[in-house]
Structure formats: structure tokens, C-alpha cells
Amino acid sequence: MRMRPTLTWEPTGGLLPAVTDLAPVVEAVRGGGVAVLSGAGLSTESGIPDYRGENGSLRRHTPMTYQEFVGAEQARQRYWARSQLGWRAMTRARPNAGHRAVTALLDAGLLTGVITQNVDGLQQSAGARDVIELHGSLSRVVCLACGQSSSRSELDHRLREANPRFEDDAERHRAARVNPDGDVELPDEAVREFRVVACSACGNGVLKPDVVFFGENVPPERVAACRDLVEEAAVLLVLGSSLTVMSGLRFVRQAAQSGTPVLIVNQGPTRGDRWATQRVALPLGEALPALVAQVCP
């Protein structure tokens, strides 16, 4: 039986006090061998909100769960209609200074790889290699029947053909804020007539974004690749993640249990603070360029 996914976490006492001095991170990164685990906080300066920050989307939005998506046609209709507008906003987003700083650290040979919990592709758009997409990518679509993978751009074209008036009718909602899972808020009347298309390969399979929904398991081979990266790292550096869900938290716990230092740069407390060597409470757009300036030639 699947457990209800963990969406929120409340900090308890006894956590390591945060600092605003970047020196511990500078010292750790300068030595190299650093694995990065990044979260939604890295993309907020690109206009994509996080889930749990001060202006996080969970304050106004309940994300789709795997159980809802596979269990109800109406839920899939709602998801793809909202995603059709959200996809536009996601494709307009551009990498920010934090993404570029992570790429600079990779290019300098100081990082061994990046595990991103984000599904927006912005770290790769900033030129980063060796990125493991822990929760998948919104740029891909997979058929739940035949397993065929295709591009979200291709599906976008098919959905526009199947719903020629949808975007004009929903124009008044275009300013709705995009959520981290790639959709926007729309009222029921805006999605009621939306037509969902089936897999073009097998003809009738249900299409799903190639992302890990809340309540869904990360593919085991992907988890194994992340565990290998963390096991070989000299330091684990967490950037912009509350570590609320176990899919990311487990790597912090793994590092701590093996004696690998864990440094977290996140403005608010995280579920991983108790295993961290230090948490630095600074905005990533400020901290990461400053880090690059101090450790890169």
C-alpha cells in the first residue's frame, strides 16, 4: 500500500543554527570532489516558484499525485489543460546566476556531478553536464502502456491541434503563475472541454509527463546512480532544497552516515539540517556567484 506523499514538514528543536558566512562552503568547494544536490530554490530567480518557501506554490496549489493521474480521466484532463499553459511559461524561463555559477564550478573541475530535483531543465540550459534528473524532466512525455518516449514539444503541437480554441479562451488566465510541476491554476470551466490525446505510437496509451509525481517512486537505476555519486564525493553540497521528501533527503542521510560532510545553502531550515555540517542562510543568486569568484581562477 502506498503512503500519502509528504508535502510539508515542520522543523523541530535541536537543529544546527544557520550562519550567513560563506566561508565553510568556500573551503569545502575549493578542495574539489563535491557532489551537488539542487532543489527548487535554485530556479526561483528564473521565475519558477518553489514549493515551500515564503511564496511557495503549496500555499495556493496542491500538486498532482501519481494516484490521481493514473486513477481518473478527469484528473488527466485537468493536468494537461493546465500544463498546456504552464508549458509556455516554463519554456520562456531562462537560467539565472545560480545555474550559471554551478556550471562554472563544474567546468572548473570542482564538482563531480549534479543531482537536480528540478524538472525544468534550466541547469542543463546553463551548459551543465553530468546532471542526474532525479525527478525527470517536463521536456519529455512517456506512454504508460507501451513505454514510448517522445518530446513535450511534439505533444504541445498535437494538443494545440486537438484544442484550437483553448488558448484563446484561456487567454485571461495566461498571467496565472506557473507552478514547479509545470502547470497553472485554471478554473473548472476553462478545462471542461479540453481534449486529451493518446499515444501516437500505440494508439490508445495514456501519456504522462516523464516526471516523478508526488506518491510515485524514483526509478531504482536513477537512485543507484545518485547513491554512487554521493558515495564517491568528498563533500555533498545541497542548494535550495527543503529536503522535505525522502527522494532527496536519503542522499543527505547517506552522506552523513558515511562521514561525508554535508553543507546546505538554503534560506530556511531544512529536514536535513540535523545531518548537516553547516547550513548557510543566503540567497543562492548572491551566494553562488560569490562562491565562484573565490574558488575559480
Nearest CA among 110, 104, 111, 109 for reference residue 127: 104
Which pLDDT score, from 0 to 100, does residue 57 have?
Answer: 41
Which pLDDT score, from 0 to 100, does residue 184 have?
Answer: 67
Which pLDDT score, from 0 to 100, does residue 107 have?
Answer: 97
CA distance 107 to 32: 12
CA distance 113 to 126: 14
The reply, when asked if residue 47 is annotated as ligand binding, is: yes
Chain-centroid distance, C-alpha 286? 20
Q: Which three cell numbers stand for residue 156?
A: 504541445
CB within 8 Å of 146: residues ≥ 6 apart: 199, 201, 202, 205
Which pLDDT score, from 0 to 100, does residue 172 have?
Answer: 64
CA distance 72 to 48: 28
The C-alpha angle with vertex 259 and arms to 107 and 291, in degrees rounded to 5, equals: 30
The reply, when asked if residue 183 is annotated as ligand binding, is: no
CA distance 237 to 111: 10
Which pLDDT score, from 0 to 100, does residue 161 have?
Answer: 95
Which pLDDT score, from 0 to 100, does residue 178 have?
Answer: 63
Model pTM score: 0.88
Question: Tell me, what amino acid is at 134?
Answer: L
Q: Which residues are part of the catalytic machinery?
A: 135
CB within 8 Å of 164: residues ≥ 6 apart: none
pLDDT in tens, 199-257: 999 999 999 999 999 889 999 999 999 999 999 999 999 999 999 999 999 999 999 99
User: HSE on the CB side for 42, CA within 13 Å?
Assistant: 32
β-sheet bridge partners, residue 143: 207
Residue with cell 494508439: 203
The reply, when asked if residue 49 is annotated as ligand binding, is: yes
The reply, when asked if residue 252 is annotated as ligand binding, is: no
pLDDT < 50 regions, the chain: 1-5, 52-53, 55-60, 175
The reply, when asked if residue 81 is annotated as ligand binding, is: no
The reply, when asked if residue 51 is annotated as ligand binding, is: yes
Which pLDDT score, from 0 to 100, does residue 171 have?
Answer: 65
The reply, when asked if residue 217 is annotated as ligand binding, is: no
Signed CA dihedral, 225, 231, 232, 233: sign only: positive
Do 277 and 24 meet the contact criterion of CB atoms below 8 Å apart? yes
> Which pairing describes strands 207-211 and 235-239: parallel, antiparallel, or unpaired?
unpaired
The reply, when asked if residue 71 is annotated as ligand binding, is: no
